[in-house]
Amino acid sequence: MPLLDIRNLQLEFGTGKDALRAVDGVSFTIAEGETLCLVGESGCGKSVSALSIARLVPTPPARYVGGEILLNGRDVLKMDQRELRSIRGGVVSYIFQEPSASLNPVFRVGNQIKESLKLHRPQFATDEEVIRLLKLVGIPAPESRIRDYPHQMSGGMQQRIMIAMALASEPKLLVADEPTTALDVTIQAQILELLRELKQRLRMSILLITHNLGIVGDIADRVAVMYAGQIVELSPARALLQRPLHPYTQALMNSVPQLGHELDRLQAIPGNVPNLGQFPSGCRFHPRCPKAQSDCSQKAPELVEVEPGRWVRCPYWK
């Protein structure tokens, strides 16, 4: 049994005629110790899918229309509040894009970490444990930092605090929602390095959400590419990076600069990301697709396994 098994997740914003479907039939699994990267442009539904794992999307305006989110075999969408609280932090922890916005500005960082400890490992809610966690995430002189407020730290340090806070409850799954986007390039590399190290040391599963295919190769075991609320390609990382199958993935790859690859020039994907709820008929990518055929606008393609472990939502992938 995989640690996380999302089946046919469907989520809408709003109700009735005006409802906008943000997530439309997303399915994927994460095994214990595995790292999955969820890749896509902003607005494709990847963050909402990730937040759904601990049911953190506010309802309303959101509404779960269908599907299951099985965490350790239990459906998150059917849990009551008490059970939900125990899995939040207890099984799945989050780090977010903007560390300065995710830390509460009026509380000391040590206390914010201790709050997690009190909830999930009360016997360890001590300064010593907080200092150990800060050391684990590579904060220098942690003894002097626990009484700091978030605004007294740099962005990179703040993100390390967020990671320490997420790890405090010893979760099985760490969901990192664009954890490096708001940081400087050198700091980005450090944070990614830290995540990879922690993954090996703690044998944790990671769901990393990013719009940057460039960082996928460093850390991911498998990759899911999302477009307009659907997964269009799901594949082992190495295979996907060597030979992307879906036209969208290929276009994404061509728009990312890569070392050691001779490319004539970077290619932007023509057209715009479709707005929520205004998805084209048929294949949602067809207006921007270089390989589009005449029937692409009519028939919505299914996600099919075309090679062992490789799933693609395009009949013309060859």
Partner 1 sequence: MGTFILKRLLHMIPILLGVSLLTFLLMSLTPGGYLQSLKQNPQISPETVEKLLAKFHLDKPWYVQYCYWLKNVAVGDFGYSVQYKISATDLITARLWNTFLLSFFATVVAWFVAVPLGIWAAVNKDSLVDRACSLIAFAGLSIPEILLALLALMFAAATGWFPIGGAQGSLYDLMTPTERFWNRAHHLVLPVLVLAASELAGIMRQMRSNLLDTLRAEYVTAARAKGLPEGWVIYKHALRNAINPLLTIFGYSLAHLLSGAFIVENIMAWPGLGRLTIEAYSAKDSMLVVDSVVMATALLIVGNFVADLMLAWSDPRIRLKE
Distances (CA, A) of 62 to 41, 49, 51, 147, 175: 20, 12, 12, 38, 20
Nearer to partner 1, 60 or 308 (CB): 60
Task: Give the closest residue to 270 by CA, choosing from 246, 286, 294.
Answer: 286
Task: Give the closest residue to 176 by CA, choosing from 208, 217, 221.
Answer: 208
Q: Is 51 in the site for partner 1 (CB under 8 A)?
A: yes
In the chain the first and final C-alpha atoms are separated, in Å, by 33
CB contact set of 189 (below 8 Å; sequence gap of 6+): none
Type of residue numbered 99 = P
Q: Is 87 in the site for partner 1 (CB under 8 A)?
A: yes
Q: Is 85 in the site for partner 1 (CB under 8 A)?
A: yes
Q: How far is the CB of 230 from partner 1 (least distance, A)?
A: 25
Site for partner 1 in 89-148 (CB under 8 A): 89-90, 93-94, 96, 98, 101-107, 115-116, 119-120
For residues 52 and 168, give the distance between their C-alpha atoms in angstroms, rounded to a whole number: 21
Q: Is 250 in the site for partner 1 (CB under 8 A)?
A: no
Q: Is 88 in the site for partner 1 (CB under 8 A)?
A: yes
Nearer to partner 1, 47 or 188 (CB): 47
CB 57 within 8 A of CB 48: yes
Nearer to partner 1, 6 or 303 (CB): 6
Q: Is 179 in the site for partner 1 (CB under 8 A)?
A: no
Q: How far is the CB of 283 from partner 1 (least distance, A)?
A: 33
Nearer to partner 1, 198 or 228 (CB): 198
For residues 160 and 166, give the distance between their C-alpha atoms in angstroms, rounded to a whole number: 10
Nearer to partner 1, 147 or 203 (CB): 147
For residues 238 and 242, give the distance between their C-alpha atoms in angstroms, rounded to a whole number: 6
Which residue from 42, 61, 74, 151 is in contact with partner 1, where contact means CB under 8 A?
A: 151
Contacts with partner 1 by CB under 8 A lie at 51, 54, 56, 81, 85-90, 93-94, 96, 98, 101-107, 115-116, 119-120, 149, 151-152, 162, 165, 169
